Structure 1
Amino acid sequence: MAYDRSAMLKLLRPAMTRILTPLGRALVRRGIGPNAVTAIGTTGTVVCALVLYPMGQLWWGSLAITVFVLFDLLDGVVARMGGGGGSTWGAFLDSTLDRVADAAVFSGLIIHFFLQRDLLMTGVTLFCLVAGALVSYVKARAEGLGVGCDVGLAERPERLVVGLVSAGLSGLGVPYILAFGMWLLAAASAVTVVQRIVHVRRQIGAR
């Protein structure tokens, strides 16, 4: 990437933490733990994506999904404030439910295109769904073998941003933006898969 993803996250995370801390404190007082927050965020994302997107409500769907995606940060805030939940189990649950949420977002868009009888974009978005899952799988499998794989053009945050922004703008009437976003994401995801495979091969070869 042309930018330093780690540096950007280090800049954004403290600001988001300050914004979410009051809400996190309120949840902890009510006995709601980080794992419950993770589950609520995923459930909200799945419902909004699979109901609003097929209905053609792309703007409201994207807006609602964005709110629930913020739960991905809120669960960490709750955990740090003593909301309970084992860190190992919580990390596993969070990573697993992230995949569920991602699949729901792109499945909703696939259904939207299919109902519009746009078979080309249905196929492109299906490719985005499969390629996104493969991006995550390659990293998980590499790390399971003890090989670092934190590289690539389009990781989960980039995929979500492109998908949600293009869908939201399309819902506001911006022409061709959703198709452009899906084609861009398909290409970026394919490149990322190749980047990660090559990176792992080089790492193993260096051993």
Structure 2
Amino acid sequence: MLAGGPAERAFRGVLQALVVGPLTRRGVSPDTLTGAGLVLSAVAGGLAWAWPVAAGVTVLVGGVMDALDGSLARAAGKATRAGAFLDSTLDRYGEFLVLAGLWLRASATDHPLAAGAFALAAVQGALMVSYARARAEGLGHPLRGGWFERPERVLLMALGLLASPWEGALGLGRGGAALATLAVLAAGANATALDRIRRGRRALRAGEG
């Protein structure tokens, strides 16, 4: 939904003007930003249990890194298929690490089994959103779109962590915001994946007709 939309284009334009140019002049490698994004995801996952607000801020910074590496590669004339491959694969690891942190925090609630189930479903949905696109593109059909692409998922994970100080006021209890976030991610990511499967199958069948 956000990916490729006006909001993302405006965001990337601001980053291009304020950050990408200086990084390009300093010779920073796009792969360095890709690796930094993964490290920040790991840090966020580790912070989520005891310092969820710090974890949420770290997720947002990591999301900016994720938005920057491709822009930096293009600006520096270093865009390669190998770099794009590394970025996509490390994104999957990074998202898993943040989801693991959310699961740890959500397990502090009175519903640890639900926390585990939602976390597993969220991981499965996130993987299938990416796999459906990759498989369709491998068969010659571009497939994007949906409400829970990676930018939306990253933003929701960050917001779920940042909302932790208000868990008591919302009647959720410790870890409740993380539990609710995992539930929404599980439902939204799998709905997006199923929609992509439906649209991809329809388009591929039409191409064979």
TM-score normalized by the length of structure 1: 0.85
Alpha-carbon distance in structure 2 between the residues aligned to 1:75 and 1:4 = 15
Q: How does 1:128-143 map to 2 (within 5 A)?
A: 128-143=122-137
> Which residues in structure 2 correspond to 1:76-115 (within 5 Å)?
76-82=70-76, 85-114=78-107
Checking the alignment, whether the CA contact within 8 Å between 1:107 and 1:129 is kept in structure 2 is no
* 1:45 corresponding residue in structure 2: 41
Q: Tell me if the contact between 2:132 and 2:196 (Cα under 8 Å) persists in the aligned partners.
A: yes
Paired residue total? 200
What CA RMSD, in Å, does the superposition of the two structures yield over aligned residues?
Answer: 2.3
Cα deviation code 1:140-186 (max 9, x no counterpart): 11111111211222111111111110121114546334333322222
1:67 maps to which residue? 61
1:92 CA displacement: 0.8
- Name stretches of at least 5 consecutive residues in structure 2 with no aligned partner: none
Task: Report what 2:191 is aligned to.
Answer: 191
With normalisation by structure 2, the TM-score equals 0.84
* Percent of residue pairs bearing the same amino acid type: 29
**C-alpha displacement of 1:110:** 1.6
Q: 1:101 to 1:145 in 2, by over 3 A?
A: same
Corresponding position: 1:178 with 2:178? yes
SS in 1 for 2:107: helix
1:185 to 1:92, Cα distance in 2 relative to 1, 3 A = same
Alignment partner, residue 14 of structure 2: 15
d(CA) in 1 for partners of 2:145 and 2:57? 29
Q: Which runs of 5+ in 1 are unaligned?
A: none
